[in-house]
């Protein structure tokens, strides 16, 4: 009786028909029978590339760890989690395309984390350069030295020296509307808004990614697809908003932080992400046109036109290959030689000063008319 109901690999595939695809045992059995050379090539090449990317990340992490302990070193080390997460999650999808949803979750969360991390690094470098260019108060014989200004005042003063600009007329939203934005100095309120624009993506990505996975695994397929499209649109808007915030900060600090290669840092994080977004659409068109119709691997029975799992497989394979470029760019963008002791410039304390300064009017002191005018213009902004 038990032998009659025991499912064969084919019947298991039918029973497991869903948008998630077959489990690993059925996937290996069916695909190795139909096209073994292609899949063995994908698994072997993907495994070698994964080992290479992890090795390069570990090597760079070891070099960073040889530097003195500092906040900057910690944030540089966190950037290496980004390519490793993308590579490992993509390779696991090659072993079982059913896990594509989990891979997208891990890749999305790591993307949001590295964008927020990059924003923190920019703020730390901005603090460092602003403090370095600020004149040290002179010492008086027998008298107490004047009190050092707050870090927020040093930052805003350094940014004001760059001259007023239309800071918020930048890609991807308002790059063609420069004439509509007035030129102004970057004040504490503006810096806080930029920080929020970037960090909101982390919260949105975490929340919607986890909720989206729950919906895909618990709701009916048709309803889940509709809700996933809505959440995908929200995530794209949130991601573009974060990129917009980075562009604002990048433009405001470009001249001041020129020696830190901020352009290379920004490019190393966003290039592969943008490439992966474009390539999925292109792959869908190519697979639909050139794939052999008789190859039923990863095709749901009764749904021959549904190529989602096939597209996911090859998209993740390309992501594995692209992580080589990703780790090489990150190693160049965040080199060991840039590390400096910035322990006293903790970003949370800087943001606390920014929040306090944006709510409390700056008090002018006798003989500081220039400072009074700056504070008035900042309040108007």
DSSP result, 30-73: HHHHH-HHHHHHHHHHHHHHHHHHHHHHHHHHHHHHTSPP-HHH
Does the pLDDT at position 15 exceed 60? no
Contact 204, 235 (CB under 8 A): yes
Sequence-distant (≥ 6) Cβ neighbours of residue 257 within 8 angstroms: 122, 125, 126, 129
Average pLDDT over residues 291-318: 72
Q: 98 near 23, Cβ under 8 Å?
A: yes
Q: In the predicted model, what is the mean pLDDT of residues 200-215?
A: 89
What CA–CA distance (Å, rounded) separates 288 from 10? 24
Please, which pLDDT band fits residue 147 given cuts at 50, 70 and 90? low
DSSP H or E segment with residue 323: helix 308-333
Fold adopted by 18-134+148-360: Rhopdopsin 7-helix transmembrane proteins (1.20.1070)
pLDDT at 311 over 60: yes
In angstroms, the CA 185 to CA 162 distance is 8
Q: In this predicted model, which residue has the larger pLDDT, 334 or 370? A: 334
Strand ranges, E, within the chain: none
Assess whether pLDDT exceeds 50 at residue 166: yes
| Pair 316, 88: CB distance under 8 Å | no
Helix (H, G, I), strand (E, B) or coil at 19: coil
In percent, the amount of the chain with pLDDT more than 90 equals 18
Q: What pLDDT is recorded for position 323?
A: 93
Among 29-38, 186-195, 264-273, the least confident range: 29-38
How many beta carbons lie within 10 A of that of residue 12, not counting itself? 15
Q: Which residue has the higher pLDDT, 169 or 304?
A: 169
pLDDT tens digits, 49-71: 999 999 999 999 999 999 888 88
CA atoms of 199 and 190, how far apart (whole Å): 14
Considering only CA atoms, give the Rg of the chain: 26
Question: Contact, 248 vs 197, CB < 8 A?
Answer: yes
Choose between 305 and 92: higher pLDDT: 92
Percentage of residues of the chain with pLDDT beyond 70: 72
pLDDT band at 1 (very low <50, low <70, confident <90, very high): very low
pTM: 0.75
Tokens at 247, concatenated:
């562009």
Q: Which residues have CB under 8 Å from 364's CB, separation 6+?
A: 371, 372, 375
């Amino acid at each position: 009786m038990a032998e009659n109901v025991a499912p064969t690999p084919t019947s298991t595939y039918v029973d497991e028909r869903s948008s998630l695809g077959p489990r690993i045992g059925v996937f290996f059995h069916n695909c190795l029978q139909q096209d073994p050379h292609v899949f063995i090539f994908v698994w072997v090449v993907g495994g070698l590339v994964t080992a290479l990317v992890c090795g390069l990340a570990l090597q760079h992490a070891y070099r960073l760890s040889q530097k003195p302990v500092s906040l900057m070193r910690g944030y540089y080390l966190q950037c290496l989690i980004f390519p490793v997460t993308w590579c490992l999650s993509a390779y696991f999808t090659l072993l079982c395309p059913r896990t594509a949803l989990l891979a997208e979750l891990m890749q999305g969360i790591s993307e949001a984390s590295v964008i927020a991390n990059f924003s923190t690094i920019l703020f730390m470098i901005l603090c460092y350069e602003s403090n370095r260019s600020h004149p040290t108060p002179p010492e008086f014989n027998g008298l107490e030295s004047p009190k050092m200004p707050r870090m927020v005042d040093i930052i805003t003063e350094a940014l004001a020296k760059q001259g007023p600009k239309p800071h918020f007329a930048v890609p991807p939203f308002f790059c063609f509307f420069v004439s509509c934005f007035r030129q102004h100095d970057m004040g504490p309120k503006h810096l806080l808004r930029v920080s929020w624009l970037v960090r909101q993506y982390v919260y949105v990505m975490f929340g919607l990614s986890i909720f989206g996975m729950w919906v895909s695994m618990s709701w009916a397929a048709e309803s889940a697809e509709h809700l996933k499209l809505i959440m995908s649109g929200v995530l794209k808007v949130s991601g573009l908003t974060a990129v917009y915030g980075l562009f604002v900060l990048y433009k405001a600090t470009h001249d001041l932080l020129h020696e830190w290669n901020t352009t290379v840092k920004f490019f190393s994080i966003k290039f592969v992400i943008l490439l992966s977004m474009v390539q999925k659409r292109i792959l869908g068109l190519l697979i639909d046109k050139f794939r052999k119709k008789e190859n039923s691997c990863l095709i749901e029975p009764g749904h021959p036109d549904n190529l989602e799992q096939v597209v996911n497989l090859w998209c993740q394979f390309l992501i594995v290959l692209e992580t080589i470029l990703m780790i090489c760019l990150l190693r160049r963008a965040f080199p060991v030689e840039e590390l400096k002791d910035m322990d006293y410039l903790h970003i949370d304390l800087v943001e606390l000063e920014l929040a306090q300064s944006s709510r409390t009017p700056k008090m002018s002191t006798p003989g500081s008319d220039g400072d009074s005018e700056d504070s008035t213009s900042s309040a108007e902004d």
